[in-house]
Amino acid sequence: MIRLLLADDHKLVREGLKQILASAPDVRIAGEAASGDEALALARANDYDLALLDMSMPGLAGIDLIKRLKLEKPALRLLVLSMHGEQQYAARALKAGAVLGQVARSSCCTRSERSPPAAFISARPPRRA
């Protein structure tokens, strides 16, 4: 089971992502944040396998949030949502530690695409010893 931290400052986006991810039997939304500061606090207090982060949130956000999460929770896999579709912005996110990459909001699922993105499926948690 993939334990997901979902962080986006728009409640409507979070609710939509939850509906999309509800079809993924191996994904459980284990935490929800409306700001970067809240996401960091939740990540510190809990163990998640994957964090899905909006790059533009109030407070700590973007590249700075990625760097802090990777510093404090190096095993946490990160996937970022961004309104920035430019390749340069995605490269900066990857360099900062977004190991799974960036999903542009413009690539959102259509109504007929009910399955979750492949990035979620590939984010299997590591086997515990």
| Dihedral over Cα of 106, 113, 28, 17: its sign | positive
Residue 126 in domain: no
3-state secondary structure of 37: helix
Whether residue 121 has pLDDT greater than 50? no
CATH number of the domain residue 113 falls in: 3.40.50.2300
| Dihedral over Cα of 23, 46, 118, 10: its sign | positive
Residue 85 in domain: yes
pLDDT recorded at residue 15: 95
pTM, entire model: 0.72
C-alpha 47/C-alpha 123 separation (Å) is 14
Residue 124 in domain: no
Segment 101-126 shows an average pLDDT of: 45
% of residues, the chain, pLDDT over 70: 63
Domains of the chain: total:
1
pLDDT (tens digit per residue) in 5-51: 999 999 999 999 999 888 888 999 999 999 999 999 999 999 999 99
Residue 125 in domain: no
Residue 46 in domain: yes
